[in-house]
Amino acid sequence: MPQDLQPAAGESDAFAGLTAMIFNCSLKPERGASHTESLLRAAAGIMEKNGVTVDHAQMAALNIPPGVYPDMRDHGRDSDGWPALWERVSRADILLVGTPIWLGEESSVCRVLIERLYGMSGELNDRGQSIFYGKTGGAVITGNEDGIKHCAMTILYALQHLGCTIPPQADCGWIGEAGPGPSYGDPTGAGRAGFDNDFTQRNTTIMTWNLMHMARMLRDAGGLPPQGNDRRAWQAGCRFDYENPDYRA
């Protein structure tokens, strides 16, 4: 973690009991080998110092095929690492997706992750809401070409569409100069690329704290109220009276 990236409000245990799932969508299967992980570690460090339990998923190492079903073994695949990963994801309060930029887009591994998350969108919690209700989402982007905001837009749209809550300023990133050059965390003559970038350090700090704040509020409130968003009512052929969300026709 960059030495100058520290929790803005000090350390506390106010977020104890929360769990964050950090997805590294680098094309590299090895932990510790990607530039994206360098920035994800900065966010993870803030969370861990404040009581959040952090779980890391190196997506390229998990044998997760593309698809939009909960288990692709039921759809022609010999193996599928997603069901085991979903057990971990389902327990998380915070979903933080990290990806490099390739040709202006998030990685192919990131797209597979979004597809597999989408494959769970039919699952409901005990209130009849999307299983993603109560989870908070964010995005971390790295690369040496343009595309931070574009990739963050795609990821955050997907997460909120599934049912995650997106807090203010829920993304951060770093890109170097256009063309070949150092990526985030690479050694340079002055230290490591990006570690002294105030914009990146500020946005990473704000994003991480806002993810924790939102996750804490949702957990303490018991999630989102069920009025008006109980999907089972629609599945049963009912319709909501929008003047009275508790009413079932």
Tens-digit pLDDT profile for residues 69-103: 999 999 999 999 999 999 999 999 999 999 999 98
On whether residue 10 sits in a domain, the answer given is no
Q: Number of folded domains in the chain?
A: 1
CA 194 – CA 64 distance, rounded (Å): 31
Inside any domain, residue 176: yes
pLDDT tens column, 183-227 = 776 767 777 766 788 889 999 999 999 999 999 999 999 999 999
pLDDT in tens, 145-161: 889 999 999 999 999 99
Q: How far apart are CA 8 and CA 6, in angstroms?
A: 6
Question: How high is the pLDDT of residue 3?
Answer: 39
CATH number assigned to the domain comprising residue 76 = 3.40.50.360
Domain region containing 53: 19-248
pLDDT band, residue 247 (cuts 50/70/90): very low
Q: Report the C-alpha gap between 44 and 77 in whole angstroms.
A: 33
Q: How confident is the model at residue 33 (pLDDT cuts 50, 70, 90)?
A: confident
Residue 185 lies in a domain: yes
Within a domain: 6: no
Residue 11 counted as domain residue: no
**Is pLDDT of 243 > 80?**
no
Residue 125: Cβ-neighbour burial (10 angstroms; 0-12, 13-18, 19+): middle
Residue 41 counted as domain residue: yes
In a domain, 1, yes or no: no
Answer whether residue 13 is part of any domain: no
